[in-house]
Amino acid sequence: MLAEKFKNNTIILASASPRRQELFKELQIPFSIDVKSVEEVYPTNLKGEEITHYLAILKATAFDSSICENDIIITSDTIVWLDKKALEKPKNTNEAIKMLQKLSGKSHQVITSVCIKTISKQLVFSDNTIVHFKKLSSEEINFYVENYHPFDKAGGYGIQEWIGFIGVTSIEGSYFNVMGLPVNKLYEELKKF
């Protein structure tokens, strides 16, 4: 449906995440992938969606010197927000286990911001999903981290993996947002763009 609207554009998804690429593919719009290296550092006073907005814009800004007239750049950033703190990607096994211990038996927010950028305009929006986890046992946490190595995932887990099947009791909001891309909101924003 949107393919016709953007037939004269080059849509660039600036994400190395295989999950985001897979989800974007389902929108049925031709796109290419180009990822610029960006140091994902943000001011410490930012909270919640301010963090993901800042990082999504930062990733889009990396294209300033190379963006062409018909390009549409799409960048995105996801965090897990728990107890007024951001849980980003764990650096190692120990960090992943600690994150899952923190999430165990609690509810947290998954916040994703998306930036859509052309040579002349920029739009940023976000989505927020609440995820409820059961109390996880040490065995379950260790099994998941050892077998799934969730080091490229905010909060140290993927809802579409084993831990999501056995640990997530319910969600409020978009499932795909938890995977890293609020596809329904992105579709609506692209329709208006």
* Active-site residue list: 77
Nearest to 91 by CA among 154, 18, 161: 154
Contacts of 137 (CB under 8 A, 6+ apart): none
Please, which residues bridge with residue 16 across strands? none
**Those residues with Cβ within 8 angstroms of residue 3's Cβ, 6 or more apart along the chain or in another chain:** 28, 29, 30
In Å, the largest CA–CA distance within the chain is 53
C-alpha pair distances (Å), 186 with each of 81, 99, 176, 180: 21, 29, 11, 12
| Integer Cα distance of 73 and 63 in angstroms | 8
* Exposure class string for 153-185: b at 16+ Cβ within 10 A, else e: bbbbbbbeeebbeebbeebeebbbbbbbbbbeb
* Residue position matching structure tokens 């995820």: 131
